[in-house]
């Protein structure tokens, strides 16, 4: 491929860089997705487990799920050496100083009662928990 200008080359390289930041489903790593009957496309962790958002997390990038809540809804945490993710995924700092992923400003959680990839037992739990969607 021959580029007629530096700007054309730069634009092509920028497109390649953006493509490598997103996975095959267009989501920033480490996020994946799964289609669930009756819900649609939901966000999953690399292990295929469904991720959830908590409607009581009203402030962007702030989790209020602590204590017993956290025991039942474990935060989706980055590995210690994980690189900073590209938008719209971010790493936030929880009240206890630990780290957690947030998608579009909403902290992400697992559901303790989900046992295998594809489970969505937490969806609409007490009308405060929803399967996270892109």
**What pLDDT is recorded for position 116?**
97
Average pLDDT over residues 95-105: 97
Exposure letters 16-55 (e unless 16+ CB within 10 A, then b): eeeeeeeeeeebbebbbbbebeeeeebbbbeeebbbbbbe
Where are the chain's structural domains? 28-131
Confidence of residue 100 (pLDDT cuts 50, 70, 90): very high
Contact 107, 61 (CB under 8 A): yes
- The percent of the chain in helix, strand and coil, each rounded to the nearest 5, is 20, 25, 60
Residue-wise pLDDT tens digits, 7-54:
443 444 444 333 334 566 789 999 999 999 999 999 999 999 999 999
Average pLDDT over residues 108-119: 97
Residue-wise pLDDT tens digits, 63-99:
999 999 999 999 999 998 889 999 999 999 999 999 9
Q: How far is CA 42 from CA 49, 90, 133, in A?
A: 10, 18, 5
**What pLDDT is recorded for position 12?**
43
């Amino acid at each position: 491929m021959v580029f007629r200008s530096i700007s054309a080359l730069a634009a092509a390289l920028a497109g390649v860089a953006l493509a490598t930041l997103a996975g095959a489903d267009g989501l920033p790593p480490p996020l994946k997705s799964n289609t669930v009957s009756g819900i649609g496309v939901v966000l999953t962790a690399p292990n295929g487990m469904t991720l959830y958002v908590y409607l009581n997390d009203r402030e962007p990038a702030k989790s209020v799920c602590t204590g017993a809540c956290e025991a039942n809804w474990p935060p989706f945490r980055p590995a210690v050496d994980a690189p900073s993710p590209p938008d719209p995924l971010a790493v936030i700092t929880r009240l206890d100083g630990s780290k957690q992923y947030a998608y579009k400003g909403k902290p992400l959680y697992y559901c303790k009662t989900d046992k295998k990839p594809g489970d969505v037992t937490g969806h609409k739990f007490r009308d405060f928990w929803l399967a996270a969607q892109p």
